[in-house]
Structure 1
Amino acid sequence: MTLRHVLPAVIALGTPAAALDLDAMTEAERTAFGAEVRAYILENPTIIREAIGVLQAREQAEQAAADTAMAQAATDALFNDGYSFVGGNPDGDITIVEFLDYSCGYCKRAFPEVESLVSQDGNIRFIVKELPILGEQSVIAAQFAVATQIVMGDETYKQVHDTLMEFRGDINTQSLTRLSDTLGLETQAIFAKMGDEAVTDVINANRALAQQLQISGTPTFIIDDQMLRGYVPLADMEQIVASLRDD
């Protein structure tokens, strides 16, 4: 962030909106004004930090407003797509959607906190959308999870989802076979389904929705119409949920 970007905020901190018209100044007046601003900043350098804070707050507010508008425009695809896993309380008064990648370290970090929030609250509807963006292992894991849901249903999917979120190590045919056998799944049927068009359609739909929402990283959460990009601590999620209920 350069002084050119910060200067408008510096001026705004101490100048009434109608008190300054740079376009109405002569070249000499603008030069003199610039010198005065430079001298003031040099004498009060901490104002730069304050101005940066003002700009960042504006940018964050603008991004939040844009994210809310995008989420509201994609309500059906987010909350009622007909194929994504729905956990927690299906009739909950708050809905949380998580875009995740099974190879994402921050998704794994968030996992126990999301589980705690959903289980302790008791009135949250939780939707999972696989978004494999971190390479081939991510794709294989997402295909396996979606195939499990299609072959064996939501309850078994949740077992696989939880296991993959806690898994440490390479995700490949061998490790998934061991995982499947350990859980007593229909291993052959699931592997046969992984390359099926139905699985590909789910993952592609999630990717298209993520692109529509300008989501480029995981985890990304949508809590009702608020979008949270990146890992969010449990206490912050609890505060957001409480705030939405108060509105």
Structure 2
Amino acid sequence: MPRPVTRLAATALALCLPFAATAQDFSEEEIKQLALQAILENPQIVMEAVAILQSREEEEAAAAARSSLTEGRDLLERDPNAPVLGNPDGDVTVVEFFDYNCPYCRRAGEQVSDLLARDDNVRVVYREWPILGDGSVFAARAALASRAQGKYGAFHEALMGARGRVDERIVLQIAASVGLDLDQLQTDMDAPEVQAHIDTTFELARSLGFSGTPSFVVGEQLAPGLVDADQLLAMVETVREGG
């Protein structure tokens, strides 16, 4: 694969060549020399070349995400190792990638709750994606372990409602407040399915091009960042309209 400097030089050169030559007609050193000369004579082409390369890279990333979305649809929406809230038989699935220490995720949680209150035919798949430190990892593992006691929903909502950062002490306090057996919880945190969920989430996020939380998938729509309930409803309706 061409190095970034060579790609930039080749793009800059292509903007200036008045004839049908391509980068393949020159050696790498010739490209650099010709591009340098072109840049000195036409400084504005640097920004034009950068814009072209950025556009190409964004298109390539979008294409890769669409391919990953198609190939990973079943894992995204029907992974038996992922928590599901809302209507488990709903006709549209919303997938959320989140971290308990992400303030935007806490706001997103309110929007998801609003969505479920307004549309009782939506199922939400939660992907625990602890990217903000050890406290986030502990919280994610504890939340996933709480499934063994049938309290994921209550524990998830309580963790989302926490003030400030959550760490091991805060997580265990919240776990006790929703009636979880702490000894069992900490044992279940080491279950292989807990780590498997987190590993799968990281791989899915990478393949979809997500770089932060929260991030959503609704049908063919990727939504990195915070979205409100109205936007989520519109995305859900887009899926329904598309059959």
Q: TM-score, normalised by structure 1?
A: 0.71
Q: Is the 8 A contact 2:142 2:186 kept in 1?
A: no
3-state SS of 2:123 partner:
strand
Q: CA RMSD in A?
A: 3.9
Any idea what the Cα deviations from partners look like across 1:58-85, whole Å, max 9, x if unmatched?
Answer: 2222112212322333333322222422
- Kindly state the Cα deviation for residue 167 of structure 1 after the two structures are TM-superposed: 0.7
Equivalent residue in structure 2 for 1:75, among 73, 90, 112: 73
Alpha carbons 1:110, 1:232 under 8 Å: kept:
yes
Deviation at 1:39, TM superposition (A): 5.4
Confirm or deny: 8 A CA contact 2:143 2:155 kept in the other structure: yes
User: Is the CA contact (8 Å cut-off) linking 2:81 and 2:197 kept in structure 1?
Assistant: no
Aligned partner of 1:63 in structure 2 is 61
Q: State the AA in 1 paired with 2:156.
A: H
SS in 2 for 1:160: helix
Query: Residue 144 of structure 2 aligns with which residue?
Result: 146
Query: For 2:104 and 2:114, how far apart are their aligned partners in 1?
Result: 16
Match of 1:194 in 2: 185
Instruction: Determine the C-alpha separation between the residues in 1 that align with 2:16 and 2:135.
Output: 54
Please give the alpha-carbon distance, in whole angstroms, between the structure 1 residues aligned to 2:42 and 2:166: 55
Give the gaps of 5 or more residues in structure 1. none
C-alpha displacement of 1:41: 2.6
* Of 188, 192, 195, the match for 1:204: 195
Identity of aligned residues (%): 30
1:171 and 2:169 matched: no
1:33 CA drift (Å):
6.0
Instruction: Tell me which of 117, 124, 131 is aligned to 2:122.
Output: 124
- Contact preservation (8 Å) 1:107, 1:218: yes
Note closer, same or farther for the CA distance 1:198–1:96 as it changes in structure 2 (3 Å cut). same
Give how far 1:164 is off.
0.7
Unmatched segments (≥5 aa) in structure 2: none
The 1:76–1:92 alpha-carbon spacing in structure 2 relative to 1, beyond 3 Å, is same
* Map of 1:219 onto structure 2: 214
Residue 93 of structure 1 aligns with which residue? 91
Asked if the contact 2:135/2:168 (under 8 Å) is kept, the reply is no
Give the aligned partner of residue 233 of structure 1. Answer: 227
* Contact 1:86-1:125 within 8 A present in 2 as well: yes
Shift of 1:128: 0.8
What's the offset of the Cα at 1:238?
A: 5.2
Counterpart of 1:19, as a letter, is A
Pairing 1:102-113 to 2, within 5 Å after superposition: 102-113=100-111
Indicate how the Cα distance of structure 1 residues 58 and 2 shifts in structure 2: closer, same or farther if over 3 A, else same: closer
Q: How many residues align?
A: 234
For 1:160 and 1:103, the matched residues in 2 are separated by 14
2:97 and 2:235 map into 1 onto residues whose CA distance is 18
Shift of 1:96: 1.9
Could you say which residue in structure 2 is the equivalent of 1:160? 155
Q: CA deviation at 1:48?
A: 4.1
SS of residue paired to 2:125: strand
Distance 1:200 1:227, change over 3 A: farther
- In the alignment, is the contact (CA less than 8 A) between 1:100 and 1:129 conserved in 2? yes
Partner of 1:37: 38
Matched residue of 2:90: which SS?
A: coil
C-alpha spacing 1:12/1:194, structure 2 compared with 1 (3 Å) = farther
In the alignment, the residues of structure 1 paired with residue 98 and residue 75 of structure 2 have an alpha-carbon distance, to the nearest angstrom, of: 16
Hey, what's the Cα distance between the residues in 1 that align with 2:220 and 2:117? 21
SS where residue 213 of structure 1 aligns? Answer: helix
Matches of 1:95 and 1:219, distance apart in 2: 16
